[in-house]
Structure 1
Amino acid sequence: MLRVAKASKKKSAPIFHSCWCRKINNLTKVYNVLESKIKSLNMQQEEPKNQTGKLEENIEKLEEQIEKLEEQIEKLEETQNELNLSRAQWSIDEYCPKEKNDGKCSPCPRGWEHFQTNCYAYNDADENDRKNWTEAREDCRGKVSDLTVVETDVEKIKNTFSPAIKGITGYWIGLRAVQGKWKWINGTELINTGWIKHNATDGQCVTVLQGREWRSVSCDEKNAWICEKKALTVN
């Protein structure tokens, strides 16, 4: 009997050892899984911190850019104020020449002709300085005006009596062909079609000259031009 019991104990020892090994292996696997999850959680916790750091860097950079922009805006405002003052003084000098010394101002700048409620500038350019229709309009805009628009028969007579200077074949006015119709630069159509006999062909603009009917010519031609602006009310 004793011999049988001893044999049984010898056989159970390796089985017991094997069970513990399996348990240890299983626990090790569980441990590894848990460790992996803990690392993953730690990384997830670190990611917002990293993003927060990047956001703080971006905010700092944006604040620097805003500061620079504010400085640029301040400089631009200073420049604009200086230009406004200069332009205002220029306008005063144009309408109220100092050389008169009588304290009186004119309804039109120096070199402009006053007629009714408008001022007209006849740009009698030399041959090399004449402009096409677009260039002429740009020049007028640079003078705070535009190519003249004729709204009444009286204005037509005024513009038709533009100077007949030798070598000048016409003065640009603010009338051109747009989609088969004669249109003024203010967008209105020419009402009195009797003022010009030519059909409105795209690419054509109108010139006037003393003692001659209005003409339709290529807008690319080089001509003199008439600018118009509202006259000041001077009491």
Structure 2
Amino acid sequence: MGLIRDRKSNHSSEMRECHNYKFELKNCDACTRWQKQRPALITSKYRQNLSPLFFVRLIAAAMAIRFIVMVTIWTTVFINSLLNQECSVPSNEGYCGPCPTNWVCYRNNCYRFSDESKNWYQSQASCMSQNSSLLKIYSKVDQDFFKLVKSYHWMGLVKIPTNESWQWEDGSILSPNQLTLVKMQNGSCAVYGSSFKAYTENCLTPNTYICMQRAV
């Protein structure tokens, strides 16, 4: 009987140890699975929390870089246009080079509107001293901005006493296609008015004048 109790006692002890061993194995397996799943869960939560913020920052950085690049480009273009702009040319036709200071550059010519009044001969001498001549209208198309002039200025147009014809300083004869000449009494010189009209005037009458020269 004692032997049987000992066997039963040993058997019960072995069963408890086996049960404890299986329980520990189950716990170990569960722990291992949890440890394997834990990094994935953390990574997933990290991605869920940080992905929107990361993309927002990335988009903001890209937009900021693009804005800086565009501002730099436009600033460079604007500065270059200011540096390279030697004169104002309303038309795309022809090249207008630099003109002297206080002269107006239009297409291929330079013009100076005087602010002093002189007679025709003095005005002619003043223009000659500046390597130019009095205004000549040779094209209503190329000199179309003169239609906006409202005051009167001496121009390089005079009457030849021998044949009563009107000619420019360079000796060419006035053409009806250049401008309309309105004849006044006692006038042997011409002043430019507006809308391509010239008026005869006494050559000794003081008037402002317009000098003209080719752009270099």
- After TM superposition, the score normalised by the length of structure 1 is 0.46
Whose radius of gyration is greater, 1 or 2?
2
More helix by share: 1
